[in-house]
Structure 1
Amino acid sequence: MKDRSQNRFVCLVSDRRERAERLAHGIDLVLPCRVIEPNAPLPTGQPVAFVIDIAADRAEADGGIWIERLAGLIRARAIPCLYLARGNTAQDAAASRLFGAPVVIDPHGSAGIVPTLRRLVEATQGAPPSREAGPSERSPGATAPQARVGAATRLVTRLFDNAAAGRPPSVEEVEAGTTIVLDTVSEIGIRAWLDLVWRHDIQVYQHSLSVAGFAAAFAGQLGFSYADRRRLARAALLHDVGKALIPLAILNKPGALTPDEMRIMRAHAALGADLLAREAAFGPEILDVVRYHHERLDGSGYPEGLTAARIGDLVRLVAICDVHSALTERRVYRAPMTHAEAFAVMEAQAGQLDPDLLRAYRPVVARAAGVETGQPARQIDPC
């Protein structure tokens, strides 16, 4: 018998086709999603939630009967509903009443559409149906975490492709990627996350995903709220987006960079921050992480040689995760360090990295390492 849960999905109703495609792609990485336009046949199956992205005054224009029918269905079945505000307070309030007092969210705000939707579904129906890769996307025997890491890798690949073309990342895809990182690291732990990430042989994308994984684990270790865990993991996921604008010949050079090449490489921090600044949804804290994650407390970092007083907490947290990841990754010009080696190097850099945060980070290193014997540390300055 066919599993009826396969018919469970999120239904996105939108009168903005281009935006709907981007939003649906982000939702679909976490929850199955179908998109319909006003006046289209209502979907069959079992929607676990509706996301409404239509102007509230459509009920008074053409399609009003259809929208009232949809609203009646949502109210009658008590289906969770998320309405994306259009910025008109009166109309947004009217939509809230029409659709049975759904959750109303600013799509450009900090709450995040995908995590808000997921929490809404969990609060009313328990765990939502997981979005796993389809048969054409999934390797034989792949587990749900493997499928999610594969989805995250494809997502980060698109983020970098967009950046290389001079386009800021899709907010919806960043949001979906952040959810994947947080959920999967919480489920399987940082060690297993790293093992899965490193099965995908795309170095710069692996680095973004491993740093985000370390950040998710670190946030959990520090007891952060869900919102703060998301903020840290999102910043970590985006921290190196400027590398999409660095020539591959420099990015993948199997040896030491010349002074001119190093200057170009170091430009990635400012390039990434400037790119993200084009999208208002990426706030100042995220931009600071992207621009300043190579700054060091003693002023020895770049691009501006900031000292401790000017380096924020989110930057300090991501810097630790970034250095740990860089030291333990395979690189074309050197073998990876063990986690014990890397932490010894990081402790020796306590004047550059926040020493209190380093002490708090030690359990994350232990979980990443499993059972590992420390070896003599080698000093490497990761770029």
Structure 2
Amino acid sequence: MTPEHFVLIVSDRPKEAGLLVRGIRKIIACRSVGPSSPMPADLPAVVVIDVGDDAAAGSWMTQLHALRLPCLHLARAPANEKEGSHPLGATRSLPVGSSRAVVLAALFDLIDALQQARIHQARRSVRASLVQGLAGQANVLIGSAFTAAQSGRPIDAAEVEAGTEVILEAISDCGIRAWLEIINRHDEQLYQHSLSVAGFAAAFALQLQLGRADQMRLAKAALLHDIGKAQIPKAILNKPGKLTPEEMAVMRTHPGAGADILARQGDFDAKILAVVRHHHEMLDGSGYPDGLAGEAIPDLVRLVTICDIHSALTERRAYREPLPHDEAHAIMRRMSTKLDGALLRAFSPIVLRSAGYALAD
């Protein structure tokens, strides 16, 4: 049962309880019962315990803890105020001799905390539903692109544009953590990775305060960066163990294959083609397929490479557990000769948000 909007006073002091009831009823409905009474079937929003018998008070507080109902305890012995980690189920203690004004103020603080917690929960539920719907749309659209690339049919540029819009909307409205929580439930690892990298890219674009056109280009390039894997045999893509040198050579054809697929269509600009072809290039020249180094690697490529590596490290794979976001970022910081240090530092707030830390705007 869900808590109703009334306050329950459990008291062995009827006179004092009556005074509290009259004060509380000016704001919210209120009832008073004795310590031996059962918990009402319609649960209260907040309970005030004013009981001298420690066993009876403890029994009530045990019930409230189990039901996660907030409680104001008027303690007979001095007690420090205690606040639960969640406003639902929080307990505050005041000395029994506290004035009625102090008691009412503490009680209304608890009620306000409860209301704010409910609003937060409702918003989380709405956000989760929104992200789930948007992620479903994006999954269908990127799946369609991969299917087309696998069969040799043209990729629908309008669908890719729509998928990019969906991802930007989801990240802008709900944030990167909510996006990752939803897409990590998808079964198809290849699509999941593309959606993850695109989500990180969208969040990065917003963090860098890029214009809308650049946001779209970055997120779209990230969404398509692995499109060449549509032509890699599933046995290699889904192999649970380490690839052989021969299998790795086949895997390393995917950047060039992806760029060729998009170039043949003529629907995608040169900057996106560069990302698809060069997202595995490293600043020290140790990457592939062309061994580019330094200034030869465009900024858009560098951005997507950071998103791609971070995503790969933090995703679950058949052969390993996902790394925590901070550990993945620490590994990448040690790749100082390979990745753009300034962009990696700018990516740090995205790492924090991905791990669940809220940042001030």
Fold conserved between structures, TM > 0.5: yes
Alpha-carbon deviation of 1:275? Answer: 0.3
Q: Verify: 1:252 aligned to 2:238, yes or no.
A: yes
Aligned position for 2:313:
327
CA contact (8 A) 2:252 2:289 kept: yes
Residue number in structure 2 paired with 1:300: 286
Question: Structure 2-normalised TM-score?
Answer: 0.63
* Alignment TM-score, normalising by the size of structure 1: 0.59
Give the superposition deviation at 1:150: 0.7
Matches of 1:214 and 1:317 in 2, distance apart? 10
Per-residue deviation, residues 172-206 of structure 1 (Å, max 9, x unmatched):
10000000000010000000000111111110000
Q: What is the identity, as a one-letter code, of the residue corresponding to 2:202?
A: A
Match of 2:339 among 345, 353, 357: 353
d(CA) in 1 for partners of 2:314, 2:348: 15
8 A contact 2:131–2:178 mirrored in 1? no
Deviation at residue 252 of structure 1 after TM alignment: 0.6
1:290 to 252, 276, 282: 276
State how 1:1-383 maps to structure 2 within 5 Å.
143-371=129-357
Q: Percent identity?
A: 59
- The one-letter amino acid paired with 1:197 is I
Per-residue deviation, residues 256-311 of structure 1 (Å, max 9, x unmatched): 10000000001000000000001222011000000000000000100011101210
CA contact (8 A) 2:198 2:222 kept: yes
How far apart, in 2, do the equivalents of 1:339 and 1:211 lie? 14
Question: What secondary structure is seen at the aligned counterpart in 2 of 1:169?
Answer: coil
Aligned counterparts of 1:205 and 1:296: Cα–Cα separation in 2: 24
Distance in 2 of aligned mates of 1:163 and 1:224: 30
With a CA cutoff of 8 Å and minimum separation of 6, indicate the structure with the bigger relative contact order.
1
Cα distance in 2 between the residues matched to 1:263 and 1:209: 25
Alignment size in residue pairs: 232
Structure 1 ranges of 4+ moved more than 3 A: none
Instruction: Read off the aligned partner of 1:215 and give its amino acid letter.
Output: A
Q: In structure 2, what is the Cα distance between the partners aligned to 1:208 and 1:166?
A: 20
Contact 1:167 1:275 in 2 (8 A): no
For residue 292 of structure 1, what is the amino acid of its counterpart? H
CA distance in 1, matches of 2:253, 2:319: 21
Q: What is the alpha-carbon distance in structure 1 between the residues aligned to residue 203 and residue 291 of structure 2?
A: 28
Alpha-carbon distance between aligned partners in 1 of 2:135 and 2:154, rounded to the nearest angstrom = 22
Aligned amino acid, residue 186 of structure 2: H
SS of corresponding position for 2:282: coil
| CA apart distance, 1:144 | 2.6
> In the alignment, is the contact (CA less than 8 A) between 1:174 and 1:234 conserved in 2?
yes
Match of 2:112 in 1: none
Residue by residue, what CA displacement relative to the aligned partner does 1:80-128 show, whole Å, maximum 9, x if unpaired? xxxxxxxxxxxxxxxxxxxxxxxxxxxxxxxxxxxxxxxxxxxxxxxxx
Distance, in Å, in 2 between the alignment partners of 1:181 and 1:144 is: 11
Which structure 1 residue ranges, 5 or more long, are not aligned?
1-140, 373-383
Q: Give the residue type in structure 2 aligned to 1:271.
A: A
Q: d(CA) in 1 for partners of 2:175 and 2:308?
A: 18
Q: Which amino acid aligns with 1:274?
A: D
C-alpha distance in structure 2 between counterparts of 1:168 and 1:331, whole Å: 30
**Deviation (angstroms), 1:371:** 4.5
SS in structure 2 opposite 1:294? coil
Aligned-partner Cα distance in 2 for 1:164–1:211: 20
The residue identity in structure 2 corresponding to 1:157 is: G
Q: Structure 2: 5+ residue runs without aligned partners?
A: 1-126
Q: What is the identity, as a one-letter code, of the residue corresponding to 2:264? A: R
